[in-house]
Amino acid sequence: MQVVLLAAGQSSRFYPFNKEHKSLISVMGKSIIVHTIESINKKSGIEKFLIVTDPKNEARQILGDGSDLGVKVEYVILEKPTGMGDALLAAEKKIFDNFFLVHSYHVDFPEIVENFDLENPSDSTLFIKKEKDITGFGIVTLDGKSVTSVVEKPENSSSLSDNKIVGIYFLKKDFIPTLKKIKPEHYSFEKALDEYAKQGKLKAEVIKSDTVTLKYPWDLLGLKNYLLSHAKKSISLKASISDSAKLEGLIIVEDGAVISDNSIIKGPCFIGKNVFVGTNSLVRDGSCLEENVKVGAFMEIKNSLVMEGTTFHSGYLGDSLIGKDCKIGSQFNTANVRLDRGNVRVLVNDKKIDTGMKYLGGIVGNDVLVGGNVSVMPGVIVGDNVNIGPSTTVMKNIPPNTVFYTKFKEHVEKSRK
């Protein structure tokens, strides 16, 4: 059996972290695609992986031939990311067996296939979950376990079905001829599934566990929390931890990390290689500090992902995402909840998206420079290579490659005394 992993294309919805494929982002010291391969291999024993990627093929730099992970990895280059159908047809010549087709962020593969017969699968199967709100997802209609139709993102999905496709498919090789008969377009894969279902060849497996998705950047928080919930406590002997520091709960501390005097780490948390946590700082509740992150004194970080090489002084970071190589001044604060306690809404592609989250702070891209005393409001996105001046409150999204600051008017007059 083989696994075809989809790792091509850039998603405008994933801005500002869409310069590389989202599965290449590092969480807990490994790229997401590595977590996915490891989880699939551990659960199923499958060793053959086919990665469909774009011409840059950055996945190869991370995975190589797969030998470091105990698997065999091959690559298929998709010149233009025009949909799952084209991706699968590009891989056709290297598909020699029945196969799983998996989005490369599905680190939760083991839970999704928990009740599926991996040893002797008899039918092509897609995995579905019943949801109240399935806006923006493909859906299926069923007759028992048999799929009767597949519809990709219908305008009025609630009237058709509440069965959401979760993005993992087990397909027999005879699905390929059906796909080849469909006119090439963005949703040719879904149309082929629909035709395949009408031939009586497609079953559905209903899952009950929550699933990982990675449609928007804030979904990284859920993926991070999933990985932390499945991690084991590990404190490197090559880390330097002050005697006055307190570590509570499930915590991973990697080589070269420094945790300074009176700092508190409340798990679950991940402290990556060569991370520095300054004096009297608090890191808590699902925070991940990736390699070479520096946190100054008197900083609090809660349920946030901070990517490689970013530095802070002091302040509060809550329920936020911070990109690579940012330099952030003192008293940086993210507001992470609306005053009316409603769901945080984020402007994506000129459309306000309801995140469904009561708590969400800032989303900051790579190479951002931030002056002192800056505040970022809930759900605000800051693009790459932005300079934010001191004493600025960021109330709206900032486009990349810009300078953003609040103007102050000086007033000087002679004292009346």
Report, as an integer, the average pLDDT of 10-17: 91
Classify strands 387-388 and 351-354 as parallel, antiparallel or unpaired.
unpaired
What is residue 409's predicted lDDT score, i.e. its pLDDT?
83
Tokens of 251: 């915590």
What is residue 48's predicted lDDT score, i.e. its pLDDT?
97
For 29-62, the pLDDT digits (tens) are 999 999 999 999 999 999 999 999 999 899 999 9
Strand order in the sheet with 258-259: 240-241, 258-259, 276-277, 294-295
**Using an 8 Å Cβ cutoff, are 325 and 309 in contact?**
yes
- Check whether domain 233-404 has CATH 2.160.10.10, yes or no: yes
For 354-386, the pLDDT digits (tens) are 999 999 999 999 999 999 999 999 999 999 999
What is residue 303's predicted lDDT score, i.e. its pLDDT?
99
Residue-range domain boundaries for the chain: 2-206, 233-404
Terminal Cα distance for the chain, rounded: 88
Residue 393 has pLDDT above 80, yes or no: yes
3-state secondary structure of 169: strand
What is residue 81's predicted lDDT score, i.e. its pLDDT?
78
Report, as an integer, the average pLDDT of 222-235: 98
Q: What are 171's strand-pairing partners?
A: 99
Band of pLDDT at residue 133, cut at 50, 70 and 90: confident
Nearest to 218 by CA among 72, 51, 334, 125: 334
3-state secondary structure of 227: helix
Question: Quick one: how far is CA 94 from the chain centroid?
Answer: 28
What is residue 155's predicted lDDT score, i.e. its pLDDT?
63
**Using an 8 Å Cβ cutoff, are 125 and 170 in contact?**
yes
Rounded to two decimals, the pTM is 0.94
Q: Return phi, psi of residue 37, to 5°.
A: -60, -45
Name which residue leads in pLDDT, 70 or 138.
70
- Considering the chain, what percentage of its residues have pLDDT values greater than 90? 85
Winning range, highest mean pLDDT, from 82-96, 125-139, 151-165: 82-96
Tokens of 210: 């929550």
For 154-200, the pLDDT digits (tens) are 665 555 678 889 989 999 999 999 999 999 888 899 999 999 999 99
User: Do 2-206 and 233-404 show the same overall fold?
Assistant: no
For 398-409, the pLDDT digits (tens) are 999 999 998 888
The residues, ordered by sequence, that sit 6+ positions from 411 with a Cβ below 8 Å of its Cβ are none
Mean pLDDT of the chain: 94
Nearest to 139 by CA among 165, 169, 171: 165
For 78-89, the pLDDT digits (tens) are 988 788 999 999
Nearest to 107 by CA among 30, 38, 6: 38
Residue with tokens 């690579």: 324
Tokens of 194: 């629909």
The amino acid occupying position 311 is T
CATH of the structural domain 2-206, one choice from 3.30.930.10, 3.90.550.10, 3.10.310.30, 3.40.109.10: 3.90.550.10
Band of pLDDT at residue 316, cut at 50, 70 and 90: very high
Nearest to 196 by CA among 145, 150, 241: 150
